[in-house]
Structure 1
Amino acid sequence: SDVSDDGLVYTFHLRKGVKWHTTKYFTPTREFNADDVVYTFDRLGNKENAFNKAYPVEFPYYTDMGLKANVKSVEKMDDYTVKITLNNTDASFTQTLAMPIGSIYSKEYADKLLADGKAEMINQQPVGTGPFIFERYQKDASIRYKANKEYWNKDDMPLVDNLIFAITKDASVRYQKLKAGECHIMSYPLPADIDGMKKDVKLKVMSQPGFNVGFIYYNTEKEPFNKTDVRVALDMAMNKPAIIQAVYGGQGELAPNPMPPTQWSFNKEIKSRETDIAKAKELLAKAGYPNGFEATLWSLPVQRPYNPNGCLMAEILQADWAKIGVKVNITTYEWGEYMKRAKSGEHQIMMAGWTGDNGDPDNWLGTLFSCEAVGGNNYSRFCYDPFQKLIAEARQLSDMGQRTKLYEQAQVIWHEQMPGSPIGTSIVSVPMGKNVEGFKISPFGAFEFTGVSVK
């Protein structure tokens, strides 16, 4: 891509010869081109887009990453050239476009679905240009793909004919399937199982420091969590080292900041607060709660890279907070419902977390705690002017040193305000059969299978 001197106009030169997938439900008549790019961005940002009217869905990432407000226009210059104009400079723009939200859809396929009155099938029967072609999805059972023999990148072709995701919600059952040779690679093992996996001669375990943070989020729009002293008191009452030991089981480290230590601009001066029950009680009294209060904590209903056991973490927090007079009721919902309710701000305190998407600090501070992200991934519903000004300014600068200074300051404000408590960053481990070759752990949490083979 070419970027104008003022940093507002990006001209993208599209790759030629990229074929859309031919599937049982769609046969393309042309290759990928500029019409697909213009169509995709219109669908992402324009509520009036005909497809959005037929099948209304939200694109919270597009909003949370600031793209909805910042993308001024997307124009086709010719079949293989697209010009994107921004309202304000955004240092992380090209990195953000490389995220899944920047995936391009086939305009021809979308038009066909619209004409057939089947717009909602875009979610059930996707069409792309990648190394694997979608075959079918059986709810709670499996997703099947086959190799795309016409993939454009001849240097990185798929090396297996079939790719099957066997949906298995229980980590112990996943481990049994791996041991029995029913699957080749396993996601999200239990921390307690990893040593045994490493000793098993039929298996190998790849590990690397996670690019993730597990959080407890306080809904800053609701009393008493709108008071900074209350949030800091809750943070101070936690025995975080005990949580790391019990929940992450030696597969995690304490997170002092709302970004992992491997993220550039991580503020090394900030430390997690030491547990101090007396001080926490003082802060609660100062905030007007000398006898504590009652609260509901939503426990994470699934295992995630940043939190291997939400239920156990909830029970530890319940015991910790009882020491300062805060009586906690624990509840949870099915994962989809949990996220939907949290985005609309129904919770008082909830658990979630984040695996970085694009390597930019704004993907932590902006996506998770900016005013734009309230109603999206900002579960604290934190919109605080001194913090917002710093991250907005940093987003518009391109100099890494200047941006680092602003993000370090923003982390100081965040730590003082404590809209959420960062708990831990986990080590990501992926166990697999000894016969699997070429698999790499993505820092962004994706499981990618180009270059992976079974010998």
Structure 2
Amino acid sequence: MNALTIRLCRTAGILLMGCWLSACGPQQLPPGLVYCSEGNPESFNPQLVTSGTTIDATSHQLYNRLVDYDDDSGKIVPGLAKAWHVSADGLSYRFELRKGVNFHSSKIFTPSRTLNADDVLFSFHRILDEDHPYHYVSRSGYPFFQSIDFADLVTSVTKLDDYRIEFHLSRPDASFLANLATDFAVILSREYAMQLLRAGTPEKLDQLAIGTGPFRLVEYVKNEYIRYRRHEGYWGKIPEIEMLVFDITSKSTVRLSKLITGDCSVSALPKAGELTRVSEHPQLVLDETAGLNVAFWAFNTQKQPFNDVRVRRALSHAIDKQNILRAVYQNSAIEAKGILPPTSWAYNSDAGAGLEFSPEKARQLLTEAGIDKLTIDIWAMPVARAYNPNALKTAELIQADLAKIGVKVNIISYDWSVFSQKLSHSDYDSVLIGWNADNSDPDNFFTPLLSCASVESGSNRSRWCNTEFDAMVRAAKAINDIRARTALYHEAEAMLAEQAPMMSFAHAKRMLLKSDQITGMHLSAFGGISFDRISIKSDKEQAH
């Protein structure tokens, strides 16, 4: 038994829980891992949210999707569907499901069967059908699916037999498979849902989660921890670790301290300024990779004076992005020209042309807009994310820049759960936030963040709706030719630079800190984190 396993008995509140087991002698401890996470999940069903905090805690731990995205090969690969066929006209997608896929069991549910087509139909009909008994159980809606206008695209999902299902589309869509591979397109248990509906507790479906993933949910205590157990009946390679704990630790400095003392073995979102401390501890390893993400400052274009493009452009001109990169990211990010990062195949290095740092142009545009005095609110995320490790610091730098052109800024923040709830009401002037892509298709940036449909879903934080932009992006999805799609996305970026509904300022590296005892952990360029392939070195291996 190694030292990391022993420490599980004193960390993340496990001591208060009786070390997970009724008797906690060292010989009884199964191998496990503690992950210092940054915040509470909003739900345990990623269909209902777009926040990275929730995705990390749910999508790859508890669930699976029909297909997955392999960021090493850049291809869509089998998931719960072992094969699929696309019709010649691009309007039908037929999926063949794996057999023998087990759902989790819990204190309140024991599955009587394995996954079949009924579970897939339930998972998507819930999103698509307003008459479905579970459609309105989600008060938040289905923001990702609403943002991509999924209900308009998918005309039906039909069962051919117990292990074959077919999606019918209203139009060809080159991003359809990629969207089924996102962290949001998880498959739920229809049997569990119907049991809860009969009991009059349908809301438990999204909190007391049951999935087919490598881990099952055991317990969640807000602001403290999430406990998972290995899914012994998992259809894929069963994880080596038996226990997984998310130790909810909002402060980055505390996460780092817990990692140094061994109370965590993996830690989320280190701040760039803390990395010098990491080099002082040889037992710590920093993993980093270029991220497919963007940090941005979104203006609520449906509120005055942000409905005036001159004001939006003025505020964008006033911000020194390079200063933000130096002070907040400290060489862990590059300047964003538009919303697509350089790792995207549709990247345009000339995106954002005409929105360069120029306080003089900012003052001139405010004068043209007839604005002499202006006070605005900036909402700043209270939690760190890969795309913005310190939103409050970023807000302070923007506040200082805007003071130089006579604009006063009030910085507003709340606890993450309150922040996300209030943000959904859209009663803000502007917000510092960002986006992690789930796959390499450029549409994963454009449609969820800026489509008219995404205004209603809540993922469009600028609340900017432009039918010409929508038509351009939809045209790009209707074709498979990469060159033609790229040209359309460049046009879309040019329109964003002209209309300035948001100011993109950084594409950050994804970084993760871990103990050198941890092997097999892959840091993806995309959102989400997975622990199913992790191994922990034994004391003998460490000695060598």
* Alignment-derived partner of residue 58 in structure 1: 141
5+ long unaligned stretches in structure 1 = none
Instruction: String of CA shifts for 1:323-352, please: whole Å, max 9, x gaps.
Output: 212121222233233233333321111111
TM-score by length of 2: 0.81
Contact 1:343 1:379 in 2 (8 A): no
Is the counterpart of residue 139 in structure 1 residue 222 in structure 2?
Answer: yes
CA shift for structure 1 position 80: 0.3
Q: How high is the sequence identity, in percent, across the aligned residues?
A: 37
Matches of 1:33 and 1:437 in 2, distance apart? 34
Contact 2:386 2:511 in 1 (8 A): no
The whole-number CA distance in structure 2 between the counterparts of 1:54 and 1:328 is: 38
Q: Does 1:298 align with 2:298?
A: no
SS at match of 1:364: helix
Which residue is equivalent to 1:398?
A: 480
Report the equivalent of 2:36: none
DSSP 3-state at the match of 2:526:
coil
Match status 1:247 vs 2:247: no
Query: Is the CA contact 1:159–1:451 (under 8 Å) kept in the aligned structure 2?
Result: yes
Q: Any idea what SS the aligned residue of 2:392 has? A: helix
Q: 1:56 to 1:237 in 2, by over 3 A?
A: closer
User: Does 2:169 correspond to 1:86?
Assistant: yes
1:36 aligned residue: 119
2:266 aligned with 1:181: no
Given candidates 164, 169, 187, the residue that maps to 1:104 is 187
**Counterparts of 2:235 and 2:137 in 1: how far apart (Å)?**
32
Distance 1:15 1:135 in 2: 26
Within the candidate set 230, 243, 249, 1:168 is matched to 249
Distance (Å, rounded) in 2 between the aligned partners of 1:301 and 1:118: 32
Counterparts of 1:303-318 in structure 2, within 5 Å, are: 303-318=384-399
For residues 464 and 138 of structure 2, the distance between their equivalents in structure 1, rounded to whole angstroms, comes to 31
CA distance in structure 2 between the partners assigned to 1:415 and 1:54 by the alignment: 39
CA distance in 2: counterparts of 1:430 and 1:371, whole angstroms: 35
User: 2 CA distance for matches of 1:179 and 1:309?
Assistant: 21
1:282-302 deviation line (CA, Å, top 9, x unaligned): 11111222x242211112221
Aligned pairs for 1:89-238 within 5 A: 89-153=172-236, 156-238=237-319
Q: After the TM superposition, which parts of structure 1 deviate over 4 Å for at least 4 consecutive aligned residues?
A: 53-57
Distance change (3 Å), C-alpha of 1:310 and 1:54:
closer
How do 1:438-449 and structure 2 match up within 5 A? Answer: 438-449=520-531
SS in structure 1 opposite 2:514? strand
CA distance in 2 between counterparts of 1:386 and 1:209 reads 32
Q: Distance in 2 between matches of 1:398 and 1:340?
A: 38
Question: Matched residues in 2 for 1:394 and 1:146: separation?
Answer: 43
Answering whether residue 52 of structure 2 is matched by residue 2 of structure 1, we say no
State the distance in 2 between where 1:129 and 1:348 align. 41
When structure 1 is superposed on structure 2, of 196-205 and 368-377 the one drifting more is 196-205
Equivalence for 1:270? 351
Matched positions, count: 452
SS at 2:325 equivalent = helix
Matches within 5 A, 1:431-442: 431-442=513-524
1:133-171 Cα offsets, whole Å, 9 max, x none, are 211111111111111222112xx3211111111111111
Separation in 1 of the partners of 2:460 and 2:295?
Answer: 14
TM-score by length of 1: 0.96
1:323 counterpart residue number: 404
Cα deviation, residue 231, structure 1: 0.9
2:441 to 360, 365, 371: 360
When the two chains are superposed, the root-mean-square deviation of aligned CA atoms in Å is 1.5
Aligned to 2:369: 287
Q: CA deviation at 1:400?
A: 1.4
Distance 1:231 1:318 in 2: 15
Cα contact 1:306–1:353 (8 A) shared by 2: yes
Secondary structure class of the residue paired with 1:186? strand
Instruction: Kindly indicate whether residue 74 of structure 2 is the aligned counterpart of residue 21 of structure 1.
Output: no
Contact 2:219 2:227 in 1 (8 A): yes
1:11 corresponds in structure 2 to: 94
